[in-house]
Amino acid sequence: MPSPSHEPDYSPDHPHDHSHASSTLSPMELRVRALETLLTRKGYIDTAALDRIIETYETQVGPHNGAKVVAKAWSEPEFRAWLLKDATSAIASLGFTGRQGEHMVAVENTPSQHNMVVCTLCSCYPWPILGLPPVWYKSAAYRSRAVIEPRKVLADFGLRLPEATALRVWDSTAEVRYLVLPLQPEGTQGWSEDQLATLVTRDAMIGTGLALAPPSPAQVSA
Amino acid sequence: MNGIHDMGGMQGFGRVQIEPDEALFHTPWESRAMAITVAMGASGQWNIDLSRSARESLPPPVYLSSSYYEIWIRGLEKLMLERGMVSHAELQTGSMQQAPIAIAHVLRKETVDAALKTGSPTHRPAASTAQFKVGDSVRARNLNPQGHTRLPRYVRGHLGTVQAVHGAHVFADQHASKPMPPFDDTAQWLYTVVFEGTELWGPGSDALLQVSVDAWESYLEAAAP
């Protein structure tokens, strides 16, 4: 658990320091520690607030939120229509709002068109429904290539689209954030929303993957 | 600015390196760096566009050789140094050598949840009617401003089609033009503009590719289809 104290706690048994002895701290570890200490002493930050921010993204906000949105859209045609028309409101109705998701747009995959999201200029990403972005999303390789050779980028993820499938890339250059609504896997009609949500991966909602196929009947009966 | 951050269409960065079961943070300092940056963003001493501007104007070799959260920290240090909130010596030692300046807001634990849940919406009432509508042909202007911009190089000069009108949003370039509050939060109409892949990347490129950007009105001019 994060420390509730208002002074940074860098004792060796503190969770922020679980793997490093002080003699082996990296330059960035030292730099950030010095910064946190300084800003706390100056009264610019509240260490307890930092702990709360970290806790929020470690335990509450993540791709499981987006998976609920997608599962509901697959299950309820009315919600799906609302999501595609006004994603900000539809997503907010499930309690997912705020920082880096203030203005949402959902884009649906179809059998003939696949959608994929990038931020070529930085790392814009829908935090309330997907959490913090993975390293690859922020990497030069992804940001540079997603708009010029997205099919090859998808191949890096092991996703090979049929050649006849059109590819639509959304570069998040303003404050609109995008959610890809993946195709519902075959054989999952009638599943509950909770069951469906287990098939919705983070990458499927970015467009670098597809929703998972349901387990085969043999696995289900096992 | 035509900075190193504007990466769309660049070549030579290699495969996308995908880390299986990637951890949310790779080292303890990354989580602290993220939280410090978010908390300081609430100080009111700058805005998100100034923050982006600080990161993207790092020297290109520094930007390319820094990890993501390292870029955040370097950008944050720069913002605070520019405003006299900290000194170089203080950053090096972590010990306070000069009095803090008055800041508009300190994010407290009790207000974190509300702040994250609210965010900073950029939608504003429109002061004018929209110049473009869905289906209009537009050309991204050939703009090369010294300051912050969200018009990526790879679409400049290219012909596209308006696919969505998002209402008026705080114009990022102008929002980053004044270093200190009160910031200029003038809004402009914001559009999703879609480009054919072949328009952007030339003959022989992927004929079934379309790429869109979200573009403020002043990035665009009317064009014959």
pLDDT in tens, A70-114: 999 999 999 999 999 999 999 999 999 999 999 999 999 999 999
> Is the same domain home to B139 and B70?
no
Low-confidence ranges of chain B (pLDDT < 70): none
The residue annotated as part of the active site, out of A122, A139, A144, A216, is A122
Domains along the sequence of chain A with CATH: 23-59 (no CATH), 62-213 (3.90.330.10)
Tell whether B90 is within 8 A of chain A (Cβ).
Answer: yes
How many other C-beta atoms can be found within 10 angstroms of the C-beta atom of residue B209?
21
In the residue annotation, A119 being an active-site residue is answered as: yes
> Is the same domain home to B114 and B127?
no
> Is the same domain home to B86 and B173?
no
How many other C-beta atoms can be found within 10 angstroms of the C-beta atom of residue A91?
26
| Whether A42 and B100 lie within 8 Å, measured CB to CB | yes
Q: Which tokens sit at A158? A: 């092991």
Distance of CA A154 to the CA centre of its chain: 17
Residue A201 near residue A211 (C-beta atoms within 8 A): yes
Q: Would residue B112 count as lying in a domain?
A: yes
Q: Would residue B162 count as lying in a domain?
A: yes
Q: What is the longest distance spanned by two Cα atoms in chain B? A: 62
CATH number, residue B171: 2.30.30.50
Q: Would residue B6 count as lying in a domain?
A: no
* ipTM of the prediction greater than 0.85, yes or no: yes
> Is the same domain home to B132 and B170?
yes
Least confident of A94-103, A128-137, A199-208, A210-219: A210-219
Tell whether B156 is within 8 A of chain A (Cβ).
Answer: no
In the residue annotation, A93 being an active-site residue is answered as: no
> Is the same domain home to B109 and B38?
yes
> Is the same domain home to B101 and B178?
no
Computed over every residue of chain B, the mean pLDDT equals 97
> Is the same domain home to B137 and B75?
no
Q: Would residue B3 count as lying in a domain?
A: no
pLDDT tens string A146-166: 999 999 999 999 999 999 999
Confidence of residue A219 (pLDDT cuts 50, 70, 90): low
CATH number, residue B58: 1.10.472.20
In the residue annotation, A122 being an active-site residue is answered as: yes
Q: Provide φ and ψ at B167, rounded to 5°.
A: 85, -170
The domain in which residue B163 lies consists of: 123-222
Domain end, chosen from B89, B118, B147, is at B118
Helical (H) or strand (E) element with B193: strand B187-196
In the residue annotation, A144 being an active-site residue is answered as: no
For A126, half-sphere exposure in the C-beta direction (CA atoms, 13 angstrom radius) is 32
> Is the same domain home to B146 and B96?
no
Percent helix, percent strand, percent coil in chain A, to nearest 5: 45, 10, 45
Return the residue in B43, B116, B201 with the most chain A beta carbons within 10 A, the one to mutate for interface testing: B116
Show which of residues 99-158 on chain A sit within 8 Å of chain B, judged by CB atoms. Answer: 99-103, 105, 118, 120-123, 131-132, 134-136, 138-151, 153, 156-157
> Is the same domain home to B133 and B194?
yes
* Separation of alpha carbons A27 and A19, rounded Å: 15
